[in-house]
Structure 1
Amino acid sequence: MRRAPLALATLASLALLAGCDLLGIEGASALAERRAAEGKAIGAACRNAARAIEDCYTLNKKSDKAAIYAGWREMDDYMRENKLEPVPPQLGPEPARTAKADGESADEQVAAADGKPDAKADGKPARNKKAGAH
């Protein structure tokens, strides 16, 4: 009869350990699987959006490159088999923030993005700092 309490205690401890997944504690293998799946999804999305694999790596520096490539390659094969055309991205890239660090104002950044580096947003020409004051 002494085996019954030992077996009951063992079953109770196993039940508690199985509940760790319910608490949101991920094991190393579950974390690795999730990261690989996310990388594959990123790669597939990049291929579907007609992005080069190098651009995909650059845009997703924290993701695993092997997983991104696997997803990109799988989507490429799928699109070729089903004769699907890529869907170009609807949103453009974010504007570069390096000009702001160099001391340019937001108006000058907008004007430079429009291809008019000498004009401010209010329509007045920007002063040339190198020309000197008269």
Structure 2
Amino acid sequence: MRHPAITICLVSAASLLAGCEALGIETATQIAAKKEAEAKAIGSACRHAVRSIEDCFGSYPRAGKAAVFAGWREMDEYMRENAIVGMPAEKSVDRPGSADTRESGTADPSKISSQSS
């Protein structure tokens, strides 16, 4: 061993660089794979919730359309093969009084006067 200091430095540098994954430092390929997986999951969830692909694209504009469609298509095939029925989202329950102002943006005067009496 001619240069034990160099050997020690190389071994310590290699061990430090090997720990980058443990620190959570992500590479560009890892980030791209994560975004694609999330977009596929969004597409799958949209299909399972009986939403059209267009609605899914509109609801999640930042997700990649190709990956969203791939996830939607995979879930569609899976559901057809296994005779799984989609689970549509439940209708949101309106709070009392909110139906008066929803359509026009203002409350109906006849309803306001009858409520105050």
TM-score (normalizing by structure 1): 0.70
Structure 2 segments unaligned to the other structure (5+ residues): none
Q: Distance in 1 between matches of 2:107 and 2:17?
A: 67
In angstroms, what is the RMSD of aligned CA positions?
2.8
Instruction: Pick the structure with more helix per residue.
Output: 2
After TM superposition, list the pairs within 5 Å mapping 1:30-41 onto structure 2.
30-41=30-41
Q: 1:62 to 1:3 in 2, by over 3 A?
A: same
Task: Work out the number of aligned pairs and report it.
Answer: 110
Larger RCO: Structure 1 or Structure 2 (Cα < 8 Å, ≥ 6 residues apart)? 2
Q: Percent identity?
A: 40
Q: 1:121 to 1:3 in 2, by over 3 A?
A: farther
TM-score (normalizing by structure 2): 0.79
> What SS class does the counterpart of residue 112 from structure 2 fall into?
coil
Query: How many Å apart are 1:24 and its aligned residue?
Result: 1.9
Q: Distance in 2 between matches of 1:62 and 1:124?
A: 46
Match of 2:89 in 1: 89
Q: Does 1:111 align with 2:91?
A: no
Query: How many Å apart are 1:75 and its aligned residue?
Result: 0.1
Q: Does 1:45 align with 2:45?
A: yes
